[in-house]
A and B are shown apart, each in its own frame.
Chain A
Amino acid sequence: MDVKIHVIDRQGIEKIISGPTDMNLNLMELLKVHEYPLEGTCGGMALCASCHIFIQSSNLLPEKSSSEKAMLDDNWDSKDNSRLACQIPISENIDLMKIELAPEVL
């Protein structure tokens, strides 16, 4: 199936993007496909925090790994609803999820 995700970009503009659940994609990759300005520097290993997002809905997400927790702990803009998009697989659980891109790293 294709899931829909509400994305608020760094200018505050909200759009709905969709992505397939059967291609082993993560949310960082999907956002990059849709040309959102996320770097994804480490390629998806939860080692750089360049795909930092804020979750604004209550979808069931996978637990944070110790690596993701550590990156977010040491990240300047982290909030309680922070996640790394690369650690969120595109699955049915995230259908209609609402997210906001964190500010660009200076």
Chain B
Amino acid sequence: MIKTDIIIIGAGPVGLFTVFEAGLLKLKCHLIDALPQPGGQCAEIYPKKPIYDIPGYPSILASELVDKLMKQIEPFNPGFTLGETAQTIEKNSDGDFIIKTTQGTSIIAPVVAIAGGLGVFTPRKPNIPNLESFENDKVYYIVKEPSLFKNKEIVISGGGDSALDWALFFVENYASDVKLIHRSDNFRAHNDSVQRALDYSKKGEIKMVLNSQVSGISKNESKITLDVQSKDNKLSKINCDNWLPLFGLTPKIGPIGDWGLEIQKNAIKVDNSTDYSTNIDGIYAIGDVNTYPGKLKLILCGFHEAAIMVQSAFKKIHPNKKNVLKYTTVTGIKGF
């Protein structure tokens, strides 16, 4: 089991900066994030967009901000559990929290800081009846184990990077039977991927079904049949082993919604007059995930909340120690 002082749920900018503020108080942090890389929305949704309201930076790219935060927290040696979602929480007899992730990782700490932004990035699912009954058997929204699809007839839906990259991967590595269904004839993936996919299409190695989308799914012995509807309302059927609808990710509040925290409009209610604590003693919520009167969902407000929150966390972790605010200009950064 991983032991730390503060478990931070969410490795977006606010979660990362919490490591810095905690580090100044000699508190060690471990971050959990469902995404495979740190940065949260800044990395997943708008890495190449400039942000103009980070103090001291007239303009900074979201990805650059993440890189700089990672550099800033390096001295404090945080732990990372990436690509896993915090799923359950329990309190042991010492009053410490034990969080288990979807992949079974366990982390223990006296304090939990939820900096989960808008939630866990989860795949966007097509709105098709009975789809759930095929999930994780015939239908996959994320490719975790590519070898599962070796020598299979696969249909991929979507027109973004993920759809094209996987279509190319399967045809290049497994010589699989790949069909790509997309609702338009434009792709928003990288030009290079689009060109390669079109080249395979000309050679007949990827079959493209454009201006069409899947409208239904049914079982067909050991396979599945997809109903495909074109823009001009022509219906056709495609038999295949697996369907991979790859329509990107959307944030959902996820398992923390069931932890007994007071939730208001998809956000966690906190006490903003003191320390951003939730209704559960020892659990705090900071950044876009929380709500209070006058809340502003801004990165800079999340940074402020992190600084205040770790002071309270320090008192909880070291009830007999007195903390005196020290300025980094005086003490510098002493890592550990």
Give the interface of A toward B (CB within 8 A). 39, 41-42, 45, 47-48, 50, 69-71, 73-78, 103, 105-106
**Contacts A/B (CB < 8 Å), 9 sampled:** A69-B186, A70-B160, A70-B186, A73-B182, A73-B184, A74-B159, A76-B126, A76-B127, A105-B250
The answer to whether A45 and B251 touch (CB under 8 A), given A73-B183, A74-B159, is no
In the complex, the answer to whether B127 meets A73 with C-beta atoms within 8 Å is no
Chain B residues whose C-beta falls within 8 Å of the C-beta of A47 in the assembled complex: 45-46, 49
For B124, give the chain A residue with the smallest CB separation.
A105
Cross-chain contact A48 with B159 (CB below 8 angstroms): no
Tell me, yes or no, whether B158 is within 8 Å of chain A by CB.
yes
Find A41's partner among B49, B118, B160, B186 (CB 8 Å cutoff).
Answer: B118
Instruction: State whether A45 touches B159 (Cβ < 8 A).
Output: no
Known: A48-B250, A73-B186, A105-B250. A42 touches B159 (CB 8 A): no
Contact yes or no, B248 A74, CB < 8 A: yes
Q: From DSSP, what is the main secondary structure of chain B's interface residues?
A: loop
Q: Which 7 A-B pairs have the closest CB atoms?
A: A70-B188, A106-B125, A73-B184, A74-B159, A76-B126, A74-B160, A105-B250
Given A48-B45, A73-B186; 14 other pairs, CB 8 A cutoff? A39-B250, A42-B45, A45-B46, A45-B49, A48-B250, A73-B188, A74-B188, A74-B247, A76-B213, A77-B127, A103-B127, A105-B124, A105-B250, A106-B125
- For residue B297, which residue of chain A has the nearest CB? A43
Q: Which residues of B contact A70 (CB under 8 A)?
A: 160, 186, 188
User: Complex formed: what's the CA distance from A48 to B213 in Å?
Assistant: 20
CA of A39 to CA of B251 in the docked complex: distance in angstroms? Answer: 9
Chain B hits for A50, CB < 8 A: 250
Closest chain A residue to B184, Cβ basis: A73
Interface residues of B in 210-252 (CB under 8 A from A): 213, 247-248, 250-251
Give Cα distance in the complex from A74 to B180, angstroms: 13
Contacts of A78 in B (CB 8 A): 183
Are the CB atoms of B183 and A42 closer together than 8 Å?
A: no
* Nearest CB on B from A46, distance (A): 10
The residues of B that contact A41 with a CB separation of less than 8 Å are 41, 45, 118, 250-251
Q: Find chain B residues with CB under 8 A from A75 CB.
A: 247
B158 cross-chain contacts in A, Cβ below 8 A? 74
- Which residues on B sit within 8 Å (CB–CB) of A73? 159, 182-184, 186, 188
User: Which A residues lie within 8 Å of B250 (CB)?
Assistant: 39, 41, 48, 50, 105
* Bound-state Cα–Cα, A74 to B314, Å: 46
Which chain B residues lie closer than 8 Å to A71 at the CB level?
188
The docked-state distance in angstroms from the alpha carbon of A71 to that of B248 is 10
Contact with A along B96-122 (1 / 0, CB 8 A): 000000000000000000000010000
Contact B188–A42 (Cβ < 8 Å): no
> What A residues does B213 contact at CB under 8 A?
76
A106 and B127 contacting across the interface, CB-CB below 8 Å: yes
Q: How far is the CA of A105 from the CA of B250 in the complex (A)?
A: 8
Q: Which B residues are CB-close (under 8 A) to A105?
A: 124, 250
Give the residues in chain B near A76, CB-CB below 8 Å: 124-127, 213, 247
A71 to B125, CA, bound (A): 15
